[in-house]
Amino acid sequence: MSVAASATPAFDRQGDQSDEARVDVAMRSFVSEFGVTAALHMESCVRCGLCASACHFYVTTGDARYTPIYKLEPFRRAYLREASPLAPLVRALGLVRKPCITDLEQWQELLYDSCTMCGRCTLACPMGIDIAELVKEARHGMFKAGLVPDRLALMDRTARQWGSTATPGEDLPDILAEAAREHGVAIPCDLDHADIMVTAAPAELGEHTKALADAAKILNRIGARWTMHQGGFDASNIGFNNGDLELQERLTRALVDTAVKIGARTVLLPECGHAYGAARWEAARWYGQALPVRIIHMTEFLDELIATQRIRVRKIGQTATFHDPCQIVRRGGLEAAARRVLAALGFELIELEDHGVTGYCCGGGGGVVSNQRATPLRNKVFELKKQQIEATGAKRFVTSCGQCRITFEMGAKHAHWDKATESLLELVADNLAD
């Protein structure tokens, strides 16, 4: 594929490895990630280009470098040179050039700034190539080579030290006490025994404590025996985003192990998309057996409470449109649950042109929203969603992922757009009926 070189390639480096060492460690990691599935994926691309029109970064910029399969070029080269059936011949004849440090530096932007691991390209590919999963594996190699965006590297170091990007565990009781005071709701912490262990997205421990307080309000309303806990409280996806899979395993294990310790049968995940992917779908693989606890997303929980009439909600009776968070809906399978909750709230739902499993990403997933240098590109991508939301003419705009909400709020601010992004959880909590 012929592509224009980036005018201003964005890359950062961590550590003091030599260039050669970085390339070697990245290549070794790429090759070690090649299970049978990844190899089949690499072999089966027919260069049809359908993934390009599925990717919001390509659609909004027309830049060929943002074609999804192109983002995996170093991975493909590693495969062809080191792991494919013809690898010895490929090397001997020099048919595929070994990636050099400049290649990896340039690909850093493609893997981290212009991919949200949303999986829309995966869905579009007629050959079933899971590009989003392969990007995640490629990021693993980049992380080992010390070639990730500095902002994500900083968050990674924090999470390794604290077990959270938001706060050390010992500060959790004070943060919860403050949120409880501010919102007038009891938030139990560190109970020795509970049925439900509740987790938070990092933003809910900072500027978005209302979401946390609203979860507490609902749990208290149903008389649940629940707690948050210093041992495992941050439903974070930082390891996933960075390619630090060891960190991700550690963070997710802390949730499961703490829940088991206090006898909780359920771990309730907050309105966060990537945490859902990490904890709901990856944890069993890391755990090596069926999980001893049920891990559910807040949207599933609300849906179940309404369906079983443990809570009732007042009808709002306006038009609304809904953004499907990629990790919860396309990759998580929870398309219907949010729509049932919206229906219970009496909304007349006007769907986005692309919705459900084919909905476009908010543009901030996969760490892009935290990666400040990607802000201009993220703002460009935001236009696509903005246009689709405006085209519905709906009065209200709702989503069920706190990270998507933050991305939309930042995009709206940049675009001087006054459409509020509302949380499904907060709408339920604000409209609880007696």
Of 27, 29, 104, the residue nearest 71 (C-alpha):
104
Measured CA to CA, the distance from residue 46 to residue 232 in angstroms comes to 44
Chain centre distance of CA 230: 23
Contact between 341 and ligand SF4 (CB under 6 A)? no
Of 325, 301, 344, the residue nearest 402 (C-alpha):
325
Binding mask 206-245 for ligand SF4 (x = CB under 6 A): ----------------------------------------
Tell me the three state secondary structure of residue 287.
Answer: helix
**Cβ closer to ligand SF4: 95 or 127?**
127
CB of 275: closest distance to ligand SF4 in angstroms? 18
Tokens of 290: 């069926």
Q: Yes or no: say if 304 and 356 are a contact pair by the CB < 8 Å rule.
A: no
Binding mask 266-285 for ligand SF4 (x = CB under 6 A): --------------------
Residue from the set 5, 47, 223, 288 that interacts with ligand SF4 by CB under 6 A: 47
Measured CA to CA, the distance from residue 197 to residue 262 in angstroms comes to 8
Judged by CB under 6 A, the chain residues 116 through 175 that form the site for ligand SF4 are 116-121, 124-125, 127, 129, 131-132, 135
The H or E element spanning position 229 is: none
**Cβ closer to ligand SF4: 282 or 303?**
282
CB of 241: closest distance to ligand SF4 in angstroms? 12
For 165-192, the DSSP string reads: SS--GGGHHHHHHHHHHHHT----BS-S
**Cβ closer to ligand SF4: 51 or 320?**
51
Tokens of 316: 């709002």
DSSP state of 237: -
CB of 155: closest distance to ligand SF4 in angstroms? 20
Residue from the set 11, 30, 57, 226 that interacts with ligand SF4 by CB under 6 A: 57
Mark the segment that binds ligand SF4 (CB under 6 A) among 46-54, 229-237, 306-314, 336-344. Answer: 46-54
Judged by CB under 6 A, the chain residues 351 through 410 that form the site for ligand SF4 are 361
Measured CA to CA, the distance from residue 162 to residue 258 in angstroms comes to 16
Tell me how many residues contact ligand SF4 (CB under 6 A). Answer: 28
Mark the segment that binds ligand SF4 (CB under 6 A) among 51-59, 136-144, 178-186, 198-206. Answer: 51-59
Residue given tokens 């050099």 in the structure block = 100
Binding mask 69-88 for ligand SF4 (x = CB under 6 A): x-x-----------------
Tell me the three state secondary structure of residue 320.
Answer: strand
CB of 240: closest distance to ligand SF4 in angstroms? 13
**Cβ closer to ligand SF4: 136 or 144?**
136
How many CA atoms lie less than 13 Å away from 96 in the CB half-sphere?
20
Query: At CA 234, angle to CA 231 and CA 236, rounded to 5?
Result: 135
Measured CA to CA, the distance from residue 86 to residue 83 in angstroms comes to 8
CB of 317: closest distance to ligand SF4 in angstroms? 35
**Cβ closer to ligand SF4: 33 or 214?**
33
Query: At CA 384, angle to CA 367 and CA 319, rounded to 5?
Result: 105
**Cβ closer to ligand SF4: 49 or 333?**
49
Residues found near ligand SF4 in the complex (CB under 6 A): 45-51, 54-55, 57, 68-69, 71, 115-121, 124-125, 127, 129, 131-132, 135, 361
